[in-house]
Amino acid sequence: MSERKRQAIETPTSMTNGSSACAAHEKSPVMGFQASAEMAGALLESASQAIVSTDRAGRIVLANRQAEEMFGYRREELLGAPIEMLLPEAKRGDHTQMRAEYLHRPSVRPMGCGLDLSARRKDGSQFPVEVGLSHIETADGVFAIAFVSDISQRKRLEQQLQLAQKMEAVGRLAGGVAHDFNNMLTVISGYGSMVLEKLHSQDPLRSYVEEIIAATISSRGANRPIAGV
């Protein structure tokens, strides 16, 4: 077979392969976008924090599964509802103003830095939270995003630690007082023994001094567990 005929036969195949490659190349961005969207959705749903997004009017436009579990609302109850329903009633008025100020100058930052924040469940119960704020800008405007963490367990541990520290401080104080008390008892007992040696066996005051010495010995025994001796 001549070289010219072989080229004529191979050319359509090469063109076909090239067209297939181009078609595959053209499809990959679309497939990549779909995969990215699916990945973003999976990350949103698997997040350990409650993630809630609101529009400028404060209406909830996005909520993940953890938000449902944390606040006790179904997703259809959250979407379209005012974000203030997730706050204690006493904080709702102030939050409306703070929300407007945040959207005027949005940034990535913690909410209420240095303050104890609380959220409200559907059943009315309140719990401590930490909230991180962010935002996205779209063709439809700016949307605020809140990342909410329930810190109830951490607060309980902090309270237990504080109580333990207080008890330790009280124990140290009681131990110091007990040692001082023991020292005073030792002085009283010592002087009582000295007085007792000076009294005759028939002296009517002897029984009183013996009672004093006995009381100091008894008090020292009762004080020993506190003093740690």
3-state secondary structure of 80: coil
pLDDT, averaged per 10 consecutive residues of the chain (229 residues), comes to 49 48 50 68 88 95 96 96 95 89 88 85 96 92 94 89 84 76 79 81 81 79 62
Write down the pLDDT at residue 16.
Answer: 46
Q: What is the pLDDT of residue 35?
A: 65
Question: What is the predicted pLDDT for the residue at 58?
Answer: 94
Give the pLDDT of residue 24. Answer: 46
pLDDT the model gives residue 90: 92
Q: Token pair for residue 142?
A: 């700016």
Give pTM, 2 decimals: 0.61
Question: How many angstroms separate the CA atoms of 4 and 8, rounded?
Answer: 6
pLDDT (0 to 100) of residue 186: 80
DSSP state at residue 64: -
Q: DSSP per residue over 98-139, as a string?
A: HHHHHHHS--SEESSTTS-EEEE-TTS-EEEEEEEEEEEEET
In the prediction, which pLDDT does 9 show? 47
> In this predicted structure, what is the pLDDT of residue 183?
78
Q: What does the alpha-carbon distance between residue 123 and residue 72 come to, in Å, rounded to a whole number?
A: 8
Q: For residue 5, what pLDDT is reported? A: 46
